[in-house]
Amino acid sequence: MGELDEPFPGTWAIAAGAVSAWELRKDFERVYPDVYVRKGVPLDARGRALAVGHWAKGEGILAGFSAAAMHGTRWLDAKPAEIVLPHRARPPRGVRVYRDAIHADELCTLSGFRCTTPVRTAFDVARRLDFTEAVEVLDALCNATKLAPKDIEHFTEVHPGLRGRSKVGVVLPYIDGGAESVPETRTRLLLLEAGLPKPETQIRITGPDGLTVARLDMGWRRWQVAVEYDGAHHWTDHDQRAWDIDRNAVLESLGWTLIRVSATLLTTRPHTIISRVTRALRAHNADY
C-alpha cells in the first residue's frame, strides 16, 4: 500500500509532486472538499476519520465514531464521521461537527491526528446515542481498547458539568467488552431486558484434562447454561457445521446446555430465544 492509498489533501499531493492535477482527476475520487482517495480503495470508518481530519486541515479533533475507529473499534463502517472544531463550519455530507471543549488530558495523537482518548470517546458516545446503539458501539470500543466500564464511570463522576451526563449512567450497567460482534451485544441485551440474570461473556470451558474445549459467547457458569450467536457460516459451511456438532456433544458431556441463536431468531422470533433460555435455566435449577 502506498501513501496515496489512504485519504490525502489534493492540493498537498500536487504541490509535493506526488500526483499531477490530471492524475488526481483520473485516478482518484473526491471524498470531501480537497480530500481524495484512490479509485477502488474502499473507505471504511477509519478511512473516513482520516479524510475528515484532512478536511479540517489539522484544526479538528476526531471524536465519537471517528475517534472510536482510530482506536480500532470494529463495526462502524455505516456510521458518519465525527469531529470537534474550534469554529463554526458547514460540514460535508456524512460528517457531524461539534464544538465541545476537550481538555489536554482527554486527547491523544493517532496517525498524526488529534483524537479523543478512549474514555472521552466512550463518554461522548454514551451521551449522544440512543440506548441500544450506544451499548453496541461501547461494547466494541471496550473490546478494542480494553477500556472498562468503571473507567467511564469515573470520568463521568469527575466531569459533572458536561451535557448529557445523565444518559451515561443508564448505559453503563449494560456495557460488556467481551462482546465480539454486534449480534452478540443484541442477544445479551435481549436476555437482560427479559429479566434474566446478567450473563458472563467469553466463558472458557476446560475438559477433565485441563485443556480448553470451548469458549462460549455468554452464559451462566453457575448453572452451566450458555447462549451463542451463530453467524451464517455456522449453518452453511459443512466443515463448520460438523465441528459445531462435535463441540456441542463435548459440552453436553460436561453438563452444559447450549442455546444457539441465529439472525432469523434474533430479528423475527426473539421470544423463542427467551423461552428456550428460560427453560434451560429452570432445568438447571437456576435460583435467580
Q: Kindly state the percentage of the chain with pLDDT values over 70.
A: 94
Residues 6+ apart with CB under 8 A from 26: none
Contact 43, 37 (CB under 8 A): yes
Residue keyed to cell 463550519: 89
248 pLDDT band, cuts 50/70/90, is confident
Domains in the chain: boundaries: 44-174, 182-283
The predicted pLDDT at position 1 comes to: 39
- The percent of residues in the chain predicted with pLDDT above 90, rounded, is 81
| Residue whose entry in the numeric block shows the C-alpha cell 476537550 | 102
Cβ neighbourhood burial of 252 (10 Å; 0-12, 13-18, 19+): exposed
- Cβ–Cβ < 8 Å for 172, 152: yes
Name the pTM for this structure.
Answer: 0.90
pLDDT tens per residue, range 79-93: 999 999 998 889 999
pLDDT at 233: 54
> Cα–Cα–Cα angle for 103, 138, 76, nearest 5°?
100
CA 241/CA 2 separation, integer angstroms = 40
Sign of CA dihedral 15, 20, 24, 27: negative
pLDDT exceeds 60 at position 237:
no
* Cα→Cα distances 119→160, 180, 278, Å: 15, 19, 35
Beta partners for residue 201, in sequence order: 218
Q: Domain 182-283, CATH 3.30.430.20 — does that match?
A: no
| Cα separation, 145 vs 249, whole angstroms | 35
What phi, psi does 102 have (nearest 5°)? Answer: -110, 120
Which tens digit of pLDDT belongs to each residue from 21-44? 999 999 999 999 999 999 999 899
152-181: pLDDT as tens digits? 999 999 988 888 899 999 999 999 999 999
**Eight-state DSSP code of residue 172:** G
CB 64 within 8 A of CB 125: yes
Considering only CA atoms, give the Rg of the chain.
23
